[in-house]
């Protein structure tokens, strides 16, 4: 019996080094040595943790480039032009009315509701396909390579990776899963009720993941406080402040000073200034510029393009 126990401990002692060696940090090309060292040190500190290791990221502007336009908007506007524009039937007229109200919102939350109105009546698969087609035609190559390397490191260290986005969940689940390998059930976005005949309705399901709603979505669906949260804008502030260990701000804006009733704790600061005050936050940069001569229907509709973030 003693020999059996001794053999077990010898086997276990041999197993431990091989276990830790399998979780090796890989340098992220495009991040500074200082950032790499900080990330490596942090990830190595998590090796002995036995509780859930969760990392949460926004999508647009954090993982996926948003210059010159948001994928969610381009997907809806392109589909409308291809399927409803210029037609006289009642359905096409109704759908184009929602498009006009998306472009010229009359109410504070009009954009949100009209997005749901436009997509209602489709199946989840149809909406997912719209998102995938838009990604493949106009956004291929827009996922930031540095962030993809970061996600690979997090997977290596046993992290659950989640995406929490204000964009329509069904539009984003397919292409994010395809490109990043994140399970669809871990991609949380704007949700609406799906009817008993498997059609998407225009009834919004709360929490809506924007501003404080992103923090609410984390507690509602992920059910634990994440160790790492990454974002890029004011809309990510509340969920980033849930991070227990590390916050990552991507391409932080230093031009717009946040003001007004929705600015919250960021009032009077730019995004960059706000996060520079936090010792647990690191700022990282990825190239986000217009690529090629892609024709964007969003642009045809007179929507102002998002500012570029060329990496220096």
Assess if residue 75 is contained within a domain.
yes
pLDDT of residue 110: 83
Which residue from 209, 191, 219, 42 is spatially nearest to 120, judged by alpha carbons?
Answer: 191
User: CATH no. for residue 162?
Assistant: 3.40.50.1000
Assess if residue 246 is contained within a domain.
yes
Task: Outline where 135-244 has alpha helix (H).
Answer: 145-156, 169-180, 212-217, 237-240
* CA 221 remoteness from chain centre: 15
Residue 33 CB: number of other CB atoms within 10 A? 8
Residue 254 CB: number of other CB atoms within 10 A? 11
Q: What one-character DSSP code corresponds to residue 302?
A: T
Assess if residue 141 is contained within a domain.
yes
Assess if residue 64 is contained within a domain.
yes
3-state SS, residue 41: helix
* CA 188 remoteness from chain centre: 9
pLDDT of residue 106: 85
Which residue from 139, 149, 124 is spatially nearest to 60, judged by alpha carbons?
Answer: 139
Per DSSP, the residues of 55-85 read EEE-SBTTTB--SS--HHHHHHHHHHHHHTT
**Structural domains in the chain (count):** 1
Contact of 238 with 211, CB cutoff 8 Å:
yes
Per DSSP, the residues of 102-138 read HHS--STTHHHHHHHHHHTTS-HHHHHHHHHHHIIII
Assess if residue 121 is contained within a domain.
yes
Cα distances (angstroms) measured from residue 59 to each of 66, 118, 145, 187, 253: 9, 22, 14, 10, 16
List per-block mean pLDDT (blocks of 10 residues) for the chain, which spans 312 residues.
51 47 88 98 97 99 98 99 98 98 86 96 99 98 99 99 99 99 99 99 98 99 99 99 99 97 96 98 98 96 97 88
Strands 228-231 and 281-284: unpaired
Assess if residue 264 is contained within a domain.
yes
CA–CA distance, 150 with 308 (Å, rounded to integer):
22
The phi and psi torsions of 77 (rounded to 5 degrees) equal -65, -40
pLDDT of residue 238: 98
CA–CA distance, 279 with 277 (Å, rounded to integer):
6
What are the residues whose beta carbons fall under 8 Å from the beta carbon of 201, sequence distance 6 or more? Answer: 116, 120, 192, 193, 194, 195
Assess if residue 252 is contained within a domain.
yes
Q: Which helix (H) or strand (E) holds 282?
A: strand 281-284
Contact of 180 with 231, CB cutoff 8 Å:
no
pLDDT of residue 23: 84
CA–CA distance, 94 with 195 (Å, rounded to integer):
20
Altogether, the residues listed in the chain come to a count of 312
- What range defines the domain where residue 215 resides? 23-290
Contact of 230 with 35, CB cutoff 8 Å:
no
Angle between helices 124-134 and 71-83 (to 10 degrees): 110
Assess if residue 216 is contained within a domain.
yes
pLDDT of residue 107: 80
pLDDT of residue 17: 47
Contact of 196 with 205, CB cutoff 8 Å:
no
């Amino acid at each position: 019996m003693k020999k059996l126990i001794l053999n077990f401990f010898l086997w276990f002692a041999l197993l431990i080094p091989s276990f830790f060696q399998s979780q090796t940090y890989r340098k992220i090309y495009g991040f500074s040595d200082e950032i790499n060292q900080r990330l490596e040190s942090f990830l190595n500190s998590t090796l002995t943790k036995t509780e859930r290791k969760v990392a949460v990221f926004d999508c647009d502007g954090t993982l996926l480039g948003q210059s010159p336009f948001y994928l969610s908007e381009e997907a809806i506007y392109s589909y409308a032009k291809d399927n409803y524009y210029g037609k006289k039937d009642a359905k096409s007229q109704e759908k184009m009315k929602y498009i006009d109200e998306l472009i010229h919102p009359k109410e504070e939350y009009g954009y949100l509701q009209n997005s749901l109105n436009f997509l209602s009546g489709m199946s989840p698969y149809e909406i997912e396909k719209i998102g995938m087609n838009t990604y493949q035609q106009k956004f291929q190559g827009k996922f930031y390579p540095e962030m993809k390397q970061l996600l690979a490191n997090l997977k290596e260290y046993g992290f659950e990776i989640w995406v929490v986005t204000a964009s329509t969940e069904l539009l984003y689940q397919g292409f994010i899963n395809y490109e990043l390998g994140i399970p669809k059930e871990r991609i949380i976005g704007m949700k609406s009720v799906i009817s008993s005949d498997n059609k998407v309705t225009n009834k919004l399901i709360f929490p809506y993941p924007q501003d404080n709603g992103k923090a609410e979505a984390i507690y509602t669906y992920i059910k634990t406080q994440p160790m790492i949260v990454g974002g890029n804008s004011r809309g990510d502030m509340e969920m980033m402040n849930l991070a227990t260990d590390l916050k990552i701000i991507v391409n932080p804006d230093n031009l717009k000073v946040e003001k007004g009733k929705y600015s919250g704790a960021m009032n009077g600061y730019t995004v960059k200034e706000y996060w520079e005050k936090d010792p647990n936050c690191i700022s990282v940069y990825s190239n986000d510029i217009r690529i090629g001569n892609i024709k964007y229907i969003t642009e045809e509709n007179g929507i102002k393009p998002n500012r570029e973030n060329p990496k220096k």
